[in-house]
A = this chain, B = another copy of it.
Amino acid sequence: MSQQHALRIGLFGFGVVGEGLYKVLQQTPSLKASIEKVCIKNADKPRNAPAYLFTTEKNEILHNNNINVIVEVIDDADAAFQIVSAALRNGKAVVSASKKMLSEHLPEILALQQETGLPLLYEGAACASIPVIRNLEEYYDNDLLQSIQAIVNGSTNYILTKMFAEKLSFKEALLQAQQLGFAESNPTLDIEGYDAVNKWTLLLNHAYGIVEHPNNLVFNGIQQINSYDASVAKERGVQIKLVAQAAKLNNGTIAAFVLPQWVATTHPLSFVQHEYNGVVIESSLADQQFFYGKGAGSFPTASAVLSDIAALRYQYRYEYKKLLQQTPARLGSDFHLRVYVRFNEASVIPKSDFTTIEEWHSGQQQQYFIGVIAFSKLQNSLWWKQPDVALIATSDPIVQDVALKNLQKKSLALAGVAVA
């Protein structure tokens, strides 16, 4: 473990992250890592590096015996998977930042590492600069991890921050995020929660040993949140954040989902503003821990990639302890969620799906209620993803057994009024 390797890197991609990495490696001679060759798609684009470094032929890197590390920071998930697979099969260690590729191909990615015995590190694919994978792997290696809640997408957090702090509309805030380079020109991946659920797929694996396709997770983005939702939240002294979370249920299974959520000002995630990310980990012993750092932009990602490269010098690899050396946890759906539901048309909402409805507010155009619904009902429906509806988890949204029974008693008394 203390033997040092000289790292000779083949880099795929020379966009903002790739070029940033190139510059930084020149400033960090102690790493003993050099970029030997860079594979790019467009040979005609002018580049801030010597021409001899570049190639458009991937096999010049993948079959180069002098190169022992592949760093892959390209956009195209399919191409990325091919590169990563070929690299591992050709005996090269890999660092990747492609969350979409990694989460959609997680079983293959795990198998490839088992098969080849080679490291594939991807800290930059989770919370950019926050070392969350490394910590879940190395530090929360015990049976005591209770829950993890995180803001994993900087673009949506920036938009929500602006909607709150400056009362911008969703569209105005999105435009600002795009102008600052925090959101893609096609922002669907960020806005509709795909990026967050991809990251969450990876973190669920390192936290609990769960291997699940992102499509099978309950998730949403912030595309339905409007100024009315923001003003209701403000009145109640909470913020709205896109929160990815997982929690151990009483029966030992794991509740996991990515939804917009009310966040109380006393909660550490309320501190996470603009393009920052944050992760709150609760363990039986350590109580609550909070990690916070920049979540969007080229340098934070390059930083995580750089640290992965540094770890390769010591043959560091993820051991997937929760999956391979312990009994991996399973996802569970035997719980309820307390949610805020806003809508124009009451007919769109399947009120009878709700176990209890606790409050009902009718405005002139917009109405909302707060109710408790079985998680399985959300899993099996899509009404809450419709344009004129917003479903936002409340501050402490998971409701289990006993709490639920008490609620139902209370609700019976209210029912006549509430569900009227």
- A: residues with CB less than 8 A from B are 1-2, 4, 20, 24, 27-31, 128-131, 134-135, 138-144, 268, 271, 283-294, 299-300, 302-304, 306-307, 310-311, 314-317, 319, 325-327
Contact = CB atoms under 8 A, between A and B. Distances in A.
A193 B140 CA distance: 30
Contacts of A29: 143
B293 A292 contact: no
B271 A285 contact: no
B306 A292 contact: no
A316 to B, nearest CB: 8
Contacts of A319: 1-2, 314
A293 B288 contact: yes
A271 B289 CA distance: 13
Given A134-B138, A314-B319, A287 B294 contact: yes
Given A2-B319, A134-B139, A303 B290 contact: no
Contact of A303 (B283, B311, B317, B326): B283
A299 B287 contact: yes
Contacts of A302: 285
Copies of the protein in its oligomer: 2
Contacts of A327: 30
For the residues of A in contact with B, the DSSP-based class is mixed
Across chains A and B, which 4 residue pairs bring their CB atoms closest together, nearest first? A285-B303, A129-B286, A289-B293, A286-B303
A135 B293 CA distance: 14
Contacts of A31: 142-143
A108 to B, nearest CB: 21
A311 B4 contact: no
A294 B284 CA distance: 12
Given A30-B326, A293-B286, A307 B140 contact: yes
Contact of A4 (B271, B314, B325): B325
28 contacts: A1-B1, A20-B285, A24-B144, A28-B142, A28-B144, A30-B142, A30-B326, A30-B327, A128-B286, A130-B289, A131-B135, A134-B135, A134-B138, A135-B135, A138-B311, A138-B316, A139-B307, A141-B307, A142-B306, A142-B307, A142-B310, A144-B303, A144-B306, A283-B303, A285-B303, A289-B293, A290-B291, A314-B319
Contacts of A294: 286-289
A143 B33 CA distance: 13
Contacts of A20: 285
A335 to B, nearest CB: 23
Contacts of A1: 1, 315, 317, 319
In this complex, the member of A4, A294, A302, A303 whose beta carbon has the largest number of chain B beta carbons within 10 angstroms is A303
